[in-house]
Amino acid sequence: MSLATRPPAFTYLRSKLHAEKVPMSRLAERFSTPLYVYSATAIRRRFQAFDKAFAPLPHTICYSVKASSNLSLLAMLGEMGAGFDVVSGGELERVMFAVPMMAHRVVFSGVGKTAAEMDLALNANIFLFNVESESELELLSERAAKLGQRARVALRVNPDVPAETHPYISTGLREHKFGIPIEEAAALYRKAASYASLDPAGVSVHIGSQIMEMEPFAAAMQRVTGLVNELRAAGHNIWCVDAGGGLGIRYEGGPDKDFQADVKGYAAAILPALGPLGAHLLLEPGRSIVGAAGALLTRVLYKKTNGGKRFVIVDAAMNDLIRPSLYKAFHQIVPVAPRPGPEEVVDIVGPVCETGDFFARDRSLPRLEEGDLVAILDAGAYGMSLASNYNSRPRAAEVFVEGRKAKVVRLRETSRDQVQHELDL
C-alpha cells in the first residue's frame, strides 16, 4: 500500500506499517493499545528545519508546550537548544522538570496568568512575559516589585489580520480574546516604561494555528515592524520580536520535501520585514514540529452494520484524540497490515457513549477485520495533550521510537491512578 506521509516517521516496509524501523504490530504486542507512538528522528529533523530556515537572524525556536508536553520530548528539544513557549504555570513546571536551569529560555504567553503563576515565573527568571492586557501589566508590575525583580515584557498586539483556519484556533482579529489592539499599543508601552519593575523589551504577535497560507504571516510582520519603529522612535529599547507560531501541517499527507518547502516559505514571509530591525526573533512552533511525528495506534474491536451504514469500532476513543470531534479535523487512517481486495466505506468510531466519538465518517479504507491494527496519523500535536479520562477511561501510554529502538515515555494509566486524588467522604 502506498502511504503519502512524511518520512521517516511512519512508512510501509514489506507491506507492514513501521515507526522508523520498528513494526507497529510489535509495539502493539509489547505496549498494548491504544498507544501514542512518536518518531524521535522526525521531531529532530523538523526542529532543525526551523533552525536552519531562520538562521539569517539571531533567533530562538521556542517550542509550544501545549502541542505535546511529554517530559522526554521537552528534554530532547532542550538538548537541541530549543526555548519553550508556555501558557500556564503547570507547563512552566514541566519545562523546569525536563530541562532544569533552562527557564531563562521560556516565554510565558496566555490571557489569564494568575499572581501565583507570575511569581513562579519571576522566581524562575524566565526570558519574557507576553502581556495581553492592561490589567495583566499592572498585576505583573506589582508582583515583580514585591519580589524585588524586573520583568522583561512584550505586549502581544492584535494586528487584525485574518487567517484561513478553524475559527476556534484563529486569534488575530478584533473579536478574539487575545492581545491588545495594535493602535492602542503605543500608549500601553508608555505605561509599561513608567514602572521600574518592568522592562518593555519586545513586541509579540500570534494570529492563529494551522495556517497554510503565508500572506497573513507577512501582513502581520509588516504591522509589527511599523510598531517597533514607532516605539523605538519614542525612546523604547525594543530589541526582540516574538512572531508567534501557527504554521500548519498537511493532514492529508505529503512527502517530507513539502514540509521543508512550507518552512522555507514561512521564513520568506517573516524575514524580509524583520531583517532590517536587527531584533532577536522568537518563534513558537508546536504542531509543525510534533504533529506529523506522532500516531495513535488502535485495534479494531468490532464491525457492525446499521441500516446499510458500516461501522468499525476501535479501542481508542474521543478521550484519546478529540480533534475530529472538536474541530471536525481530518486525520489520515491507515491499516498496519493492509488486506487485499476492494475498499469499504466506513465510520471509524470509538467505544465512548457519545455520537461524537468518531475518528472518520464515510471514509473509504482497505477492508478491516476484528483484531486488525490501524494507525491514526498526524496525532502528535494536541492528541495526548487534550486527552482526558472521560467515561473513566485510562489515558494511553506514549512511546518514543528512534531507529530500531522503542521506549516508553509515559506509562498507561490505571484505574487507581485516576482515583488516587479523590477523597473518601
Query: What does the DSSP 8-state code read for residue 132?
Result: -
Grid look-up 506514549 returns: 398
Helices (H), 234-284: 256-274
Q: SS3 breakdown of the chain: % helix, strand, coil, rounded to 5?
A: 35, 25, 40
Q: Spell out the residues 6+ positions from residue 284 whose beta carbon is closer than 8 angstroms to its own.
A: 62, 63, 64, 85, 107, 109, 206, 242, 243, 244, 245
Grid look-up 499599543 returns: 185
Number of CB atoms found within 10 A of residue 14's CB: 6
Catalytic status, residue 353: yes
Q: At what angle do helices 115-124 and 89-98 cross, to 10 degrees?
A: 30
In angstroms, the CA 315 to CA 298 distance is 6
Of 76, 82, 79, 6, the closest CA to residue 42 belongs to: 6
Can you tell me whether residue 417 is helix, strand or coil?
helix
Grid look-up 527568571 returns: 125
Angle at 112 between CA 128 and CA 329, to 5 degrees: 95
Residue 241: burial class (beta carbons within 10 Å; 0-12, 13-18, 19+): buried
Residue 398: phi and psi, rounded to 5, are -125, 140
Given the residues 353, 404, 416, 421, select the one marked as catalytic.
353
- The answer for 245, left when phi > 0, alpha when psi is -120 to 50, beta otherwise, is beta
Q: Is the peptide bond before 8 cis (omega within 30 degrees of 0)?
A: yes
Q: Spell out the residues 6+ positions from residue 194 whose beta carbon is closer than 8 angstroms to its own.
A: none
Can you tell me whether residue 227 is helix, strand or coil?
helix
Radius of gyration of the chain (CA): 23
Q: At what angle do helices 71-79 and 40-53 cross, to 10 degrees?
A: 40
Residues marked active site are found at 353
